[in-house]
Amino acid sequence: MTAAAALTVLFAGCTKYAPDGLGKVSFATSRTWVINGAGINQTWSDVVVASGANDKTTFDGGDHNGPYKADWRNNPGYKGSLFTWEAVNRYQDYLCPGDWRVPVQEDFYYLDMALGGTGMGGQDDATISDKYINIWGGNYVGRCVENGTLEGQGFNAFYWSLTPTLVGASIKYRVLIFSLGQVSMGASYQYHGISLRCVK
């Protein structure tokens, strides 16, 4: 692989190569969140940041009929970059390096249980949604739709998993969603731009 074909990605002294345009990949901060409770032990990273998204406001996630595209953009005023599911899936080893990994649906279930929820989401409980902010370190980062239009910033939070789900005739991917007083294990189209946190 030549330097012209890829950019260097650095994680704590480890050098990897990522697709041209993704840039330097890191976590927004080096802080980690250790979650213990209900027999569950998890460690979560801060949100993933790609320097190639820092000044990028254009975004093309594809559309409902595909093809689905790997893309990313900035999220002004909020930590982290927004990635399509295709980008997360295709470049997961760069975005969550080493012993970090992209979460699956069960990781969010366990997180919810550790924070006092049912494990299934669907809770209208401000005490639990507050724990996602105060204990897990979440933020109301919103997302973007397939053309890059931002929505929900300051009100809703969306975080990707790798887990697919069938919703009607469409395949979507499971996401953790929380907002003021509510928590759900929802689903989103793969062409939306959503934040990513890694787990181990």
In a domain, 4, yes or no: no
Number of domains in the chain: 1
Q: What is the pLDDT of residue 121?
A: 67
Q: Which residues of the chain have a pLDDT value below 50? A: 1-17
Question: pTM (2 decimals)?
Answer: 0.87
Its domain, for residue 30, covers: 25-199
In a domain, 5, yes or no: no
Q: What is the pLDDT of residue 19?
A: 67
In a domain, 8, yes or no: no
Q: What is the pLDDT of residue 9?
A: 34
Q: What is the pLDDT of residue 139?
A: 94
Buried b (16+ CB within 10 A) or exposed e, 5-37: ebbebebeeeebebbeebbebbbbeeeebebee
